[in-house]
Amino acid sequence: MATPVVKLMALPVEGKKDEKVVRWLKHYSSAQSILIVGDGDFSFSRALATAFGSGANLVATSLDSYGALICKHHQAESNVRELKKMGATVLHDVDVNNMKLHTCMKMKRFDRIVFNFPHAGFTGQETQLHVINSHKELVRVFFRNASNLLCPDGEVHVSHKTGQPYDRWDIEQLASEYSLVMFEKVGFAKGDYPGYNQKKGDGRKCNRSFPLRNGCTFKFRMARKESEDESAMYCLVAAMAKMSMARAHDNVTM
């Protein structure tokens, strides 16, 4: 099980050094503004807030209304209560189809936007094409909305099972439709998030967990625009030219 990592970050304040504690849990830190969408019983968000000692930078959301949520998940009520106590913003009825228009999010930008184990519901066998397509559509609209809510250097994280039939969702391709580029794929270990219980979230067994079978966290960033690449290249060439001129000058004056 992962132990939260604590790092001290020194921030200069009016000439003095003020030490601000930054706490980490796996990929996430208390200094990042984090949006969690499609939470199940809010145990993932609670694990982050608990590790950070605060939920102040967290916006935790569910598709379900609060009423539906607490009917589905036994632990949801206490998880939501604790999250709020720790200062997190908890929102319900947040649909990835239109979340960028939500009044609480329209003006916000996030360092991390997280969707763990997206799933569009149990409408057939996971191997059936129409089921795969409905999951793909959910992930596609998530990427579309998330790309509008991301800070310039922010990251979108999707945790997802790998192997068949899950690889057929081709989430890397779906992300690329919105200029999101995968830069890392790391194994997802439930134990990294103490207290987290993954939930099916739909159907008769909605409060049940499901096997995480080779689950991975896929991390995406916005693709750099060509103009940014060009200006980075220009800076590099200019710096190299400056260095070689300085060397030539040193050789002449020695």
Ligand X SMILES: C[S@@+](CC[C@H](N)C(=O)[O-])C[C@H]1O[C@@H](n2cnc3c(N)ncnc32)[C@H](O)[C@@H]1O
Interface stretch with ligand X, choices 22-30, 37-45, 101-109, 224-232 (CB under 6 A): 37-45
User: In terms of CB distance, is 176 or 197 closer to ligand X?
Assistant: 197
Q: Are 16 and 28 in contact (CB under 8 A)?
A: no
Q: Is 198 in the site for ligand X (CB under 6 A)?
A: yes
E-only strand ranges, 171-226:
180-187, 216-222
What are the angstrom distances between the C-alpha of 8 and each of 29, 103, 129? 12, 34, 49
What are the angstrom distances between the C-alpha of 171 and each of 74, 138, 164, 178, 193? 31, 11, 13, 11, 23
Q: Is 31 in the site for ligand X (CB under 6 A)?
A: no
Q: Which helix (H) or strand (E) holds 227?
A: helix 226-253
CB of 197 to ligand X, least distance (A): 7
DSSP classification of residue 3: P
DSSP classification of residue 214: T
Q: Is 63 in the site for ligand X (CB under 6 A)?
A: yes
Q: Is 215 in the site for ligand X (CB under 6 A)?
A: no
The token pair at 60 is 């935790």
Q: Is 55 in the site for ligand X (CB under 6 A)?
A: no
CB of 50 to ligand X, least distance (A): 16
Among 120, 212, 222, 223, binds ligand X (CB under 6 A): 120
Q: What is the pattern of x (binds ligand X, CB under 6 A) and - over residues 157-196?
A: ----------------------------------------
User: In terms of CB distance, is 38 or 55 closer to ligand X?
Assistant: 38
Among 23, 140, 200, 221, binds ligand X (CB under 6 A): 200
CB of 58 to ligand X, least distance (A): 14
Q: Are 195 and 43 in contact (CB under 8 A)?
A: yes
CB of 80 to ligand X, least distance (A): 14
User: In terms of CB distance, is 37 or 86 closer to ligand X?
Assistant: 37
Residue with tokens 């966290």: 217
Specify the long-range contacts of residues 98-104, CB closer than 8 Å, at least 24 apart. Answer: 98/145, 99/37, 99/61, 99/145, 99/149, 100/145, 100/148, 100/149, 104/59
Q: Is 97 in the site for ligand X (CB under 6 A)?
A: yes
Q: Is 207 in the site for ligand X (CB under 6 A)?
A: no
CB atoms within 10 A of CB 106: 11
Q: Is 199 in the site for ligand X (CB under 6 A)?
A: yes
Residues lying near ligand X in the complex (CB under 6 A) are found at 37-40, 44, 63-64, 95-97, 116-120, 138, 198-201
